[in-house]
């Protein structure tokens, strides 16, 4: 299956990954609320991308992240919703959905691809694009 954390990801692969996620009742229930859209409009996508990069670097990339499996709140920031929607919320989900092994640091290049995938989900939500 297409892997958003893999460096071979292309636009068709991203669409296939979104389609796969849409088949999960849990993943498909996440959407940005009006307050999230206002926050994004106020801060700008560049700031949201920086927040996403920081969250991935500090909460997901370490080999043994603190509170793994509980480190990503369900709400409070648009990126948190994106992480749950895209199965990039914890190392367990990354391993199950995207075959990113636990117990090793996630390299910066792979972190950047995860952030790209999160931002693609956020932009789809902003534009209300179907899966």
pTM score, whole prediction: 0.86
User: What pLDDT does residue 94 have?
Assistant: 95
Domain boundaries, the chain: 11-127
Low-confidence ranges of the chain (pLDDT < 50): 1-2, 5-9, 131
What are the pLDDT digits (tens) for 69-96? 888 888 889 999 999 999 999 999 999 9
Contact between residue 85 and residue 30 where contact means Cβ atoms under 8 Å apart: yes
């Amino acid at each position: 299956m297409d892997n958003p954390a893999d460096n071979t990801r292309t636009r068709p692969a991203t669409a296939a990954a979104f389609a796969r996620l849409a088949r999960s009742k849990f993943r498909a229930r996440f959407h940005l609320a009006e307050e999230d859209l206002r926050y994004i409009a106020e801060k700008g996508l560049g700031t949201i991308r920086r927040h996403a990069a920081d969250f991935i670097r500090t909460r997901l990339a370490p080999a043994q992240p603190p509170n793994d499996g509980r480190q990503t709140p369900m709400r409070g920031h648009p990126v948190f919703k994106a992480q749950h929607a895209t199965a990039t919320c914890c190392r367990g989900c990354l391993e199950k959905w995207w075959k990113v092994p636990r117990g090793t640091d996630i390299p910066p290049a792979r972190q950047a691809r995860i952030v790209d995938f999160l931002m693609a989900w956020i932009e789809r939500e902003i534009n209300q694009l179907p899966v």
